[in-house]
Amino acid sequence: MANFLRILGIETSCDETAAAVVARHEDGRGEILSDVVFSQLDEHSLYGGVVPEIAARAHVEALDGLIEEALHRANVSLDEVDAIAATSGPGLIGGLIVGLMTAKAMARAAGKPLFAINHLEGHALTARLTDGLAFPYLMLLVSGGHTQLILVRGVGEYERWGTTIDDALGEAFDKTAKLLGLPYPGGPAVEKAALKGDPDRFSLPRPLVGEARLDFSFSGLKTAVRQAATEIAPLSEQDVADICASFQKAISRTLRDRIGRGLMRFKQEYGGLDVDPALVVAGGVAANQDIRRTLQALCLEHGFRFIAPPLKLCTDNAAMIAWAGLERLADEQPADGLDVAPRSRWPLDAQAQTLLGSGKRGAKA
Ligand code: KG4
Ligand code: ZN
């Protein structure tokens, strides 16, 4: 199919309410016509984390207005879009219901096909929207709810090579921040404090480093941070900075080892590609400069291109959901029926086993 296509996308799986209109040109190029996001951060920060009930209500209140705004900014009417795509999992079930039901009602009323999209697939395909990346490539998703290394082979073809066996990386940042008395969300606060700290003052564990499997583990690191903090309490500002810097260093070293092995495996399996292989990073933790530098250097060493889409498209948004729908539409994959149900758990790779303790906050992606 080589037509010019446009899709309205809706995202409500966690604490961002978002709507977007994205086009796919005849040559396969993607173009974001509008992309509106309402972050509920203020409503949750008081509680130090996302409260599902508050999130669901906030989605109900914001979504209609955001959809109108997205269509208006894109200068298209509902009649003019080719389909509607909505996140139908994984995520917080209340929010998923709000987004998917809205999409179903609109699809029914306007007589448009509906695509129920896996949120992780949205993250996985974003680099094709921003950079026109060809398959196959590796993707590292590091957010508040996920830490996964995924082989992206094609639309709908994903292989999970590694995942966390306990906490997600963003969760480790958030918990570390909390125990050091830093504000939520913890990632940016830890990164800022670390700038003035000594990364060599504390020697923190680097879990699973050296092991052949490509999984991650971060809960031991968090425990070690707690021990270090307890031993030297009360903490001065400099102590907090030193712990944060040491924590980030341990993470960068861990990622170097884990992802380095992933890159080598990719080269072994896909040695004959015409272009340099690529590693894509997505998720809120991808904002961390130290982690970015680590991954960039690692890619350079292994002859990989390092692709980090603009931060707005690395974190939760509806443009990636619309684009995933466009990929399916262009690939002539069937739309979903109006009886499709939201799924709070929905692994991208159906063959991958659930690892003990992983995805406890599977709600967040
Ligand atoms: O992808 P995201 O915006 O939302 C979901 O998880 O759905 O990711 C949020 C996570 C939080 O855990 C936050 O602490 C972390 O990303 N994060 C960071 C940074 N900015 C956000 N972690 C480390 N360094 C940062 N600069
Ligand atoms: Zn996400």
Assess whether the C-beta atom of 126 lies below 6 angstroms from ligand 1.
no
How does pLDDT run across 181-230, given as a tens digit for each residue? 999 889 999 999 999 999 999 999 998 989 999 999 999 999 999 999 99
pLDDT of 56 > 90? The answer is no
Q: Note whether 41 and 156 are same-domain residues.
A: no
Q: Note whether 103 and 226 are same-domain residues.
A: no
Q: Note whether 112 and 254 are same-domain residues.
A: no
- The answer as to whether 156 is a domain residue is yes
Q: Note whether 231 and 250 are same-domain residues.
A: yes
From residue 348, give the alpha-carbon distance in Å to each of 69, 123, 335, 343, 352: 30, 11, 18, 12, 9
Average pLDDT over residues 141-150: 94
- The answer as to whether 358 is a domain residue is no
Select from 173, 175, 176 the residue to mutate for testing ligand 1; criterion: most ligand atoms less than 8 Å from CB.
173
Instruction: Evaluate whether 243 touches 229 at the Cβ level (below 8 Å).
Output: yes
Task: Name the residue with the closest Cα to ligand 1, atom 10.
Answer: 144
Q: Note whether 234 and 294 are same-domain residues.
A: yes
Average pLDDT over residues 340-357: 84
pLDDT of 273 > 50? The answer is yes
How does pLDDT run across 31-44, given as a tens digit for each residue? 999 999 998 888 88
How does pLDDT run across 119-133, given as a tens digit for each residue? 999 999 999 999 999
Average pLDDT over residues 94-99: 95
Q: Note whether 182 and 43 are same-domain residues.
A: no
Instruction: Evaluate whether 180 touches 168 at the Cβ level (below 8 Å).
Output: no
Q: Which structure tokens are listed for 100?
A: 């998917």
Q: Note whether 204 and 321 are same-domain residues.
A: no
Average pLDDT over residues 165-179: 95
Q: Note whether 96 and 182 are same-domain residues.
A: no
Residue 355's pLDDT band (cuts 50, 70, 90): low
Atom of ligand 1 at shortest range from CA of 364: 7
User: What was the pLDDT predicted at 78?
Assistant: 97
Residues 6+ apart with CB under 8 A from 191: 244, 248, 287, 288, 289, 290
User: What was the pLDDT predicted at 360?
Assistant: 42
User: What was the pLDDT predicted at 10?
Assistant: 98
Task: Name the residue with the closest Cα to ligand 1, atom 13.
Answer: 187
Q: Note whether 224 and 319 are same-domain residues.
A: no
pLDDT of 358 > 70? The answer is no
Assess whether the C-beta atom of 37 lies below 6 angstroms from ligand 1.
no
User: What was the pLDDT predicted at 227?
Assistant: 96
Q: Note whether 316 and 238 are same-domain residues.
A: no
Q: Note whether 324 and 300 are same-domain residues.
A: no
Assess whether the C-beta atom of 162 lies below 6 angstroms from ligand 1.
no
Residue 177's pLDDT band (cuts 50, 70, 90): very high
User: What was the pLDDT predicted at 51?
Assistant: 85
Pairing mode, strands 30-39 and 16-24:
antiparallel
Assess whether the C-beta atom of 184 lies below 6 angstroms from ligand 1.
no
- The answer as to whether 120 is a domain residue is yes
How does pLDDT run across 238-251, given as a tens digit for each residue? 999 999 999 999 99
- The answer as to whether 352 is a domain residue is no
Assess whether the C-beta atom of 11 lies below 6 angstroms from ligand 1.
no
User: For position 96, which CATH number holds?
Assistant: 3.30.420.40
Helix (H) or strand (E) holding 20: strand 16-24
Residue range of the domain that includes 76:
4-128+312-330
- The answer as to whether 207 is a domain residue is yes
User: What was the pLDDT predicted at 54?
Assistant: 84
| Ligand with an atom nearest the CA of residue 311 | 1
Q: What whole-number distance in Å separates Cα of residue 57 and Cα of residue 92?
A: 12
- The answer as to whether 232 is a domain residue is yes
pLDDT of 353 > 80? The answer is no
* Candidate from 54-58, 166-170, 327-331 with smallest mean pLDDT: 54-58
pLDDT of 364 > 90? The answer is no
pLDDT of 361 > 80? The answer is no
pLDDT of 118 > 50? The answer is yes
Q: Note whether 167 and 196 are same-domain residues.
A: yes
pTM as predicted: 0.92
Assess whether the C-beta atom of 95 lies below 6 angstroms from ligand 1.
no
pLDDT of 101 > 70? The answer is yes
- The answer as to whether 323 is a domain residue is yes
Number of domains in the chain: 2
